[in-house]
A and B are shown apart, each in its own frame.
Chain A
Amino acid sequence: MIFHRILLRLARDYPCRAFVEAVTDYLEGSMAAAERRRFERHLRRCDGCERYLAQMRKTIDLTGRLTTADVDALGPDARSELMEAFRSFHAGRR
């Protein structure tokens, strides 16, 4: 019974809702050691979150399969600035 209560307290302490928000910190290796232990303890006990983490890894993998033509790599502002520099250089060479 005491064991059960400890489990319950641990689970409430680190709900799945917090886990999914911490996934990127975990994958980026930017977690403090104590936080990382809590995260990994939750991971071992929760099938849903284990699956969630696997899906995030797969998502990263699939994004990496896109070709260079698939996505504009910069937002419109930065891109237009670069393209402007590009055009003026081109015009100057003519």
Chain B
Amino acid sequence: MASAAVADEAVQETWVAVFTGVDRFEQRSSVKTWIHRILINVARSKGVKEHRSIPFASVGADLDADEPAVDPDRFRGPRDRWPGHWASPPVPWEHQPEDRLLSGETLAVVRAAIAELPPSQQTVITLRDLDGWTAGEVCNALEISETNQRVLLHRARSKVRRALETHLQDAVA
């Protein structure tokens, strides 16, 4: 949101959305979170329409570090006959019954993993996989390149997958 005028407009629309949507308010989310949510969605539509953006200074720092998606120890070493191939392949958990995968306990693991991400990764995975924004919308709103958007999304999703594997592998063994 580069201009104050656009911000004002977003806030105004948020209040309208709050008052018209109060019946749909869910008890389990706090009022603050709920209003914040609406504000973000209004800001998003403003951002896209006005070609403004939300400043997003911390992206550079999050992209600098080398972050492999999978612990390098899980692959075979360079002297192996099959260098870079799985030494310790992923433990299967993805076909576990829905009632376990969708349990509050499992979703709490996803939530905790996202909460631990650096802000830029957290923002990108939330906007993409939770709010359903397109890649283009995220790039536009955060003023980042398509490549950077993908890198942040990749790192975020990879970490959430690791957390799920750690949590669910006990049930498989």
Contacts and interface: CB of A to CB of B under 8 A. Distances in A.
Interface residue range, chain B: 35 or more
A59 B28 contact: no
B119 interface: yes
Interface residues of A, number: 51
A25 B150 contact: yes
B157 A15 contact: no
A41 interface: no
Given A16-B75, A59-B161, A68-B34, A75 B39 contact: no
Contact of B14 (A25, A57, A63, A86): A86
A57 B101 CA distance: 13
A63 B146 contact: no
B123 A74 contact: yes
B60 interface: no
Contacts of A48: 85-86, 89-90
Given A66-B111, A82-B43, A73 B157 contact: no
A83 B36 CA distance: 8
Secondary structure dominating the interface of A: helix
Contacts of A28: 135, 150, 153
Contact of B126 (A52, A56, A71): A71
Given A17-B75, A57-B94, A89-B11, 19 more contacts: A18-B84, A24-B150, A24-B154, A24-B157, A51-B92, A58-B94, A59-B161, A59-B164, A63-B125, A65-B107, A65-B110, A67-B29, A68-B34, A68-B37, A72-B36, A75-B58, A75-B119, A77-B57, A89-B15
Interface of B: 1, 4, 7-8, 10-12, 14-15, 26, 28-30, 33-37, 39-40, 43, 54-58, 68-70, 72, 75, 82-86, 89-90, 92-94, 101-102, 106-107, 110-111, 114-115, 119-120, 122-123, 125-127, 129-132, 135, 146, 150, 153-154, 157-158, 160-161, 164-165
